[in-house]
Structure formats: C-alpha cells, structure tokens
Amino acid sequence: MGTEFVQLSLAPLLTGLFAALACALPGNFLILRREALMGDAISHVVMPGIVLAFLITGGITTSAMLIGAGAAAGFAVLMIAFFTRIARIEPGAAMGVTFTTLFAAGVMLLERSDTSGVHLDVEHALYGNLESLVWFAAQGWGSLLEAEALRALPPELMRMSLVYSLIALLIALFWRPLAISTFDEGFAITAGIRVRALGLGLVLVAALAAVAAFDAVGSIIVIAMFICPPAAARLMTNSLLAQVLWSQCFAAFSALAGYVLAGYGPIWLGYPNSVSAAGMIATLSGLILAAAALFGPCRKRAGQTSGAQALA
C-alpha cells in the first residue's frame, strides 16, 4: 500500500468517490419528486453535448465540456417542452423520445468524426475510464504534502472534488425550501417559495454532477449513482436528513469497495486483469439497494402488509 498505490489507485479511488457522492446528493430529491426519469435523461443527454463541444473546440477542456453539456441539456429541455406543450405528447413519452434520440445523435456524431486525438470513444462515453487517472508525479504518501506533486494530480479529481463541494454547499444553502417544495408543493407556493426555479435549479445541479462525472465514470453509471444510493437510503428512514446522510454512506461504500473489488478482486482470485471499476461500483450500489429492499426498516408502504397489492 505504498508508492504504487498512491501513484495508480489513489486518484481514481477519490475521483470515483466524489463522483458517487456528487450524483447521490441531488438524486435524493430527484427520487422523492418522482423525477428519477430526469436523472436517466440527463445522463443520456450530456454525451452528445460533450461530443459537440469536442467537435467545435477540438479538445475536451473542462469549460468546453460544461458549456457543451449545458447547451445539450438546455436543448433537451426545449425539445421536451416543445413535445409536451405544442405537440401535446404526454411527458413520459416526450422524455423517452428526447433522450434516446439525442443519445443516438451523439453516438452517430462520435462514430463519424475523428476522435483519435482524444480519449473519447463510445465505450468511454458509456462506462468511463477511472483506471486511467494515474498520478505518476507522486512518490509515496508524502507527496500529498508537496505542492508541486499536487499540481500534477489528474484534473478530473480536482474537478470532481470541486463540483462535489459546490453541490453540497448549494444543497445545504437551499435545504429548507428544497425540503418543503419536495414534500408539499402547494404549501411551498403559498409560503412564497419559488418552486419552479428550485426545480430547475435541482435539474441543473444534477446535470453539473453528471457532466463532471461523465469523463471518469461514463453516462450509464451516473444513473446508478443518481438512483441506487438514495433509493436504498429512502428505505432506511423517514427523515430527510437521515436519508441524505445514508445515501452518502451508501454511495461512498459503493465507490470505495467497488474500486477495490474491481482492481484487486481478480488478483485475489488469481486472475491477472482488473475489471471495470465503474461497472463494479454500479453493481455494488444495486446490491446495497437489494439488501435495503429486503431488510430496510422503512421499506414498506404505509398500510402495506406482506400480501402486497398488485400494482402492475
């Protein structure tokens, strides 16, 4: 657990951790508001935005990615609004049409353009490449205290930790209005809370997390982080604060254990190659949810007995 760990594993481990935490945090409110589909849509839509940004600027700098993804998200919102209001298509169908079409467009663009200069291809877009975030400038744990080594940390890690801090700050700042508008929108409106602005803000925060995490863990795994840790947390408690904290614990555990299992698990079993870290993180978050669904103290609906009513 010495120099090699710090050089090869520390940065990806922390990046994965911050990505998971950053997505799980707004995910709590998305699932409480029955907007889990929005999380699905966001993670499909940021991909074409990033591809466009690359095609226009020729590289993938942070600002280009953010602007591209932001533009794509904005376009998607307009498209959905057009479908629901003008074409009068029902909202679920409108969202499904929008995010699949935009994702298809993104893949088509990606395949037909020359991205050999940058590490951007379809596999990468789907499940990222955490393992590539090496920190060769480090020479051991002591490098954490050396400014020069720190400056050579992979930019993805800096980006992800910054975004997570920002999201945590925003959620903390807007905690009360968010909570009220999530649980009782009518009351929130009468209390003067700007519910529509808040809703939009939540979507933007989720999109920010998705864009920042995209490069490290890809789009599909972002959905796992939006939904699984908060959903598992929801089954553990009735308190919003406790749920959010549980979701952070579950996200952290998924990220840390997932990375370790993916990187070292095969070696422990005698196989030389590691497996996909992002995939393992998503799998673990699903397993945690399964455990919560089987044993969580607050898993049942109000008034539900073990003979569950049919909802299908």
Partner 1 sequence: MNEVIASLTLQSGYNATLVSLGAAMLGVAAGFCGSFLHVRKRALVADGIAHATLPGISLAFMAMVVLGGDGRNLAGLLAGSAVTAVLGFFAMDALTRRTRLAEDAAIGAVLSSFFGFGVVLLTVIQAMPGGKQAGLQGYLLGSTAGMLQQEAWLIAMAAGLILALSWLLRRPFTLIAFDPGHAEASGFPVRRYDLALLALATAVTLIGLKLVGLILIVALIIIPPVAARFWTDQVEQMAWISAVIGGASAYLGAALSSALPKTPTGPAIVLIAFACLLASLIFAPKRGLVARALRGRV
For residue 3, which of 137, 116, 201 has the smallest C-alpha distance? Answer: 137
Report the interhelical angle of 155-173 vs 195-234 (nearest 10°): 110
Name which of 138 and 232 has its Cβ closer to partner 1.
232
Cα separation of 133 and 119, whole Å? 12
Residue 286 lies near partner 1 (rule: CB under 8 A): yes
Based on C-alpha coordinates, what's the Rg of the chain? 20
193: number of Cβ within 10 Å = 18
Residue type, 198: L
Name which of 98 and 143 has its Cβ closer to partner 1.
98
Cα separation of 223 and 177, whole Å? 25
Contact partners, residue 306, CB within 8 Å, separation at least 6: none
- Please check whether residue 211 is in contact with residue 50, taking contact to mean a CB–CB distance below 8 angstroms: yes
Interface pattern 170-209 for partner 1 (x via CB under 8 A): ----------------------------------------
Judged by CB under 8 A, how many residues of this single chain contact partner 1? 70
Interface pattern 118-137 for partner 1 (x via CB under 8 A): ----xx--xx----------
Interface pattern 40-79 for partner 1 (x via CB under 8 A): x---------------------------------------
Rule CB under 8 A: choose which of 1, 63, 86, 190 binds partner 1: 86
Backbone angles phi and psi of 62, in degrees to 5: -55, -50
| Shortest CB 45 distance to partner 1, Å | 14
* Chain centroid, CA 21 distance in Å: 8
Q: Which stretch binds partner 1 (CB under 8 A): 27-35, 162-170, 180-188, 245-253?
A: 27-35
- 171: helix, strand or coil: helix
Residues forming the site for partner 1 (CB under 8 A)? 31, 34-37, 39-40, 86-87, 89-90, 92-93, 96-97, 100-101, 103-105, 107-108, 111-112, 122-123, 126-127, 220-221, 223-224, 226-228, 231, 234-235, 262, 266, 271-276, 278-283, 285-287, 289-290, 293, 296, 298-302, 304, 308-312
